[in-house]
Structure 1
Amino acid sequence: MIEACPVLAIRRPVRRPTDAQIAAFADTPTSFIVDAMAGQGALAAAIAPLSTELPQAAHGPALTVNAGPGDCLATLAAPAFTRPGDMVLIGVAGHQGCAALGDRVLGALRNAGAAGAVTDGPARDLDGIVTVGLPVWAAGLTPNSPMNTGPGEIGLPVQMGGRQVETGDMVIADRDGVVTVPFDLIDRVIGKLDTIRHLEGERDARVANGLIVTPDIEALLASESVAWVD
């Protein structure tokens, strides 16, 4: 006799950033965090803030959900495993044929204390989502609805927007997009942020004071590394 296969695979979180680590990313632009990771770390540009009527910044530890294309069973179960401050990442393998989430599941995530939600699929029920008020980054909108039959996964690694994300990684999102920081790199990235903030402040001041071309570019233009074409 063939036994029925499980419809959900769930791994309870085994690691989570400390409160101090989470706080270190507050009010930090995603571009600064990318610079601290050698220019990498952002999810695909299609994953963007869903609406200007929602908060445009959020950060917190990842709770990963692999709902699969066209399904939402794992997404419906995710609020049961969401801890206050979590960023819930819902992967649907980039499927664009139907919504990955809507206002009711986002309301449940808000009730569980989630800081925000990110998906590589579209969302639906925008008016309701705005009423819920939870920050959302998604790949657009569609009224099409998913199935809820599974299979799906919660707490296991998920591929999203060109990156693999694991539960416990840091997720930082703003108007520019979504950046993920692998758990093992959190302290290294935090250690670079003050320097990046200082350098960015200096560069902004130079531009505000009339800078046109930086000294290194001026030196390049005066060197033999440039071929002048008549």
Structure 2
Amino acid sequence: MKNVIVTDPPRACIDKVDKLAEYGVATVHEALGRTGFLGPKLRPVHLGSRVGGTAVTVLSWPGDNLMIHAAIEQCQPGDLLVVTTTSPSSDGMFGDLFATALQTRGVRGLVTEAGVRDVAELNAMGFPVWSTAVSAQGTVKATAGAVNIPIIIGGQTIRPGDAVLADDDGVMVVPRGDVDRAIEAAQARTDKEEATRTAFRDGELGLDRYGLRAKLAELGVEYISAEQHLL
């Protein structure tokens, strides 16, 4: 790893990222063929936030938040800070002071594969965070890492400027060049789901709408009466 801070990387159009975020992580993830999800370990510290932003990426050493300090200078309105470490870490690398600095710069939230602390204060500030741990354990500022380089979380590559979506269902990444396609696919998925929702309200069963009766028969499932079952 080169210890670098990459300045002013190209970013996805924030208006399009905002539009994409409206669909929600689950819908966009399904619409794109179930790609881009960063995994179930990233959970919201508080429920109820739905955000999208352009990634500023950080690669830190475990237990060391020096590069988060360096990354804040590279942030601009509409960004999401995305942090991982060179090996697993649950230390509380981020708290309300960092959140204050980021809010001042118009940053929309934090996604971190490490720990956070000052949870009550983050909630009171309305600063959304997705993390893999909550921990009072503090950190040092001693080891160089990198800012705005490609990083990997949950098997997914996040590049600086990519669209990152986060809500109560988790976090996903959409590559910067795929945002337009993702919006089109998410709208099509939304239209399809609304048609299904209407059909279910009208009493149609999923067994019939999705053609699942034939699948049950193919799998050898039989319908028998309760009396027959007790024989």
Secondary structure of 1:122's aligned partner:
strand
Residues 124 and 142 in structure 1, CA contact (< 8 A), matched pair in contact too: yes
TM-score (norm 1): 0.88
**1:79 is matched with which residue?**
72
1:190 corresponds to 2:183: yes
SS of 2:34's partner is coil
Match of 2:24 in 1: 29
1:16 aligns with one of 11, 18, 22: 11
Contact 2:90–2:133, Cα closer than 8 Å, also in 1: no
Match of 1:129 in 2: 122
Equivalent residues of 1:123, 1:138 under 8 A apart: yes
Structure 1 position 162, deviation (Å): 2.2
Pair 1:218-2:213 in alignment = yes
Tell me: CA distance 1:22–1:73, structure 2 relative to 1, closer, same or farther (3 Å): same
Unaligned runs of 5+ in 2: 223-228
Alignment correspondent of 1:169: 162
Aligned-residue CA RMSD (Å)? 2.0
- 1:180-222 deviation digits (Å, cap 9, x = unpaired): 0011222221221221110011122222333333331022234
Aligned to 1:153: 146
* Counterpart Cα distance in 2 of 1:172 and 1:30: 6
Paired letter, 1:198: D
CA contact (8 A) 1:17 1:170 kept: yes
What per-residue deviation string (whole Å, max 9, x for no partner) do you get for residues 46-99 of structure 1?
A: 1010123xx511111111111222210001122111010101101124633411
Distance in 1 of aligned mates of 2:181 and 2:193: 19
Q: Which moved more, 1:71-80 or 1:85-94?
A: 85-94
User: How many angstroms apart in 1 are the aligned matches of 2:156 and 2:86?
Assistant: 11
Q: 1:110·1:132 contact (CA, 8 Å) conserved in 2?
A: no
Q: Distance in 2 between matches of 1:13 and 1:182?
A: 17
TM-score by length of 2: 0.88
SS at match of 1:24: helix
How far off is 1:124 after superposition?
0.8
- Partner residue in 2 for 1:119: 112
Aligned with 2:73: secondary structure?
Answer: helix
Aligned match of 2:35: 40
Map of 1:3 onto structure 2: none
Aligned to 1:179: 172
Alpha carbons 1:33, 1:189 under 8 Å: kept: yes
Inter-partner Cα distance in structure 2 for 1:184 and 1:26: 16
Partner residue in 1 for 2:226: none
Q: Does 1:57 align with 2:53?
A: no
Distance 1:21 1:213, change over 3 A: closer
Larger radius of gyration: 2
Distance 2:15 2:119 in 1: 34
Structure 1 unpaired stretches of 5+: 1-5
Q: Which moved more, 1:90-99 or 1:198-207?
A: 90-99
- Greater helix share, structure number: 2
Q: 1:64, 1:158 within 8 Å by CA — same for their partners in 2?
A: yes
Aligned residues, how many?
Answer: 220
Does the Cα contact within 8 Å between 1:70 and 1:95 map onto a contact in 2?
no
Letter in 1 for 2:24: P
Deviation string 1:119-151 (CA, Å, 9 cap, x unpaired) is 011111112222332111111211001121121
- For residues 221 and 195 of structure 2, the distance between their equivalents in structure 1, rounded to whole angstroms, comes to 32
Secondary structure of the residue aligned to 2:206 is: coil
